[in-house]
Amino acid sequence: MHLYYILQVGDGGVEDVTETIPVIYLRCRFGGSRAYFICPGARHGTNCKRRVAKLYLSRRYFLCRHCSQLPYASQYEQPWQRGLRRANKLKQRLGIGVGIAEPFPEKPKGMWVRTYGCLLNEILQAEMLANEAQANRFQRLLAQVEDDPE
C-alpha cells in the first residue's frame, strides 16, 4: 500500500510524507482471506516486520503498537478500577446494568446453571477485589490526613 499524506510541522510549515507499507493476505480457516499490514518500523537496530491488523500514526509514520510504544489504557488502571471493569464486563454478559446496586437477574434461557453460577462467582470475586483495593486506598488517604500536622 502506498501512502501519501501531508503533516503539519511544529513551526507551522507542512511536510509531504510518502510511505510504502507491505500488505499480505492470509487464508482464513473456513474460506476467504484476511489482510494484514507488515510493520515498516525499526527498533533496536532491526526491522520490526510484525504482522498486524492496525497501524498507528506515530510522529511521522504509521507503525505497529510495539514500535509506537503505545501502552494499553488498562496498564494505567488502579487495582480497584481493574476489578470494577472486570465485574461490569461480566454483568453485561448476563444482561445486567453496570454498577454495584444492580440486582442479579434470573438465569438466562439456554445458559447452563453451572455457567451461570460461575459467572456470578466471578462477579462477586471481582467486586470483592475492587472493594478491598478501594478500602486500602481510603485507609492510606486517611493515614495521610491524620499524619499531616496543621
Residue 99: predicted pLDDT: 67
| DSSP notation for 2-20 | EEEEEEE-TTS-EEEEEEE
| DSSP notation for 38-55 | E---EETTEE---EES--
CA-wise closest residue to 82 among 141, 136, 140, 129:
129
* Nearest-angstrom CA–CA distance, 33 and 149: 67
- Give the containing element (helix H, strand E) for 62: strand 61-63
Residue 53: predicted pLDDT: 95
| Per-residue confidence in pLDDT tens, the chain, 150 aa | 888 988 888 787 888 888 889 999 999 999 999 999 999 887 777 788 899 999 998 878 899 998 888 988 888 888 788 888 888 888 888 887 776 666 777 888 888 999 989 998 998 888 888 888 888 888 988 988 887 666
Contact 86, 44 (CB under 8 A): no
Residue 150: predicted pLDDT: 63
Domain boundaries, the chain: 2-68, 74-147
Give the type of residue at 23. V
CA-wise closest residue to 84 among 101, 99, 104, 97:
99
- Between the alpha carbon of residue 88 and those of residues 22, 81, 111, 133, 141, the distances in Å are 39, 10, 19, 16, 26
Residue 74: predicted pLDDT: 83
* Nearest-angstrom CA–CA distance, 91 and 81: 15
Give the type of residue at 44. H
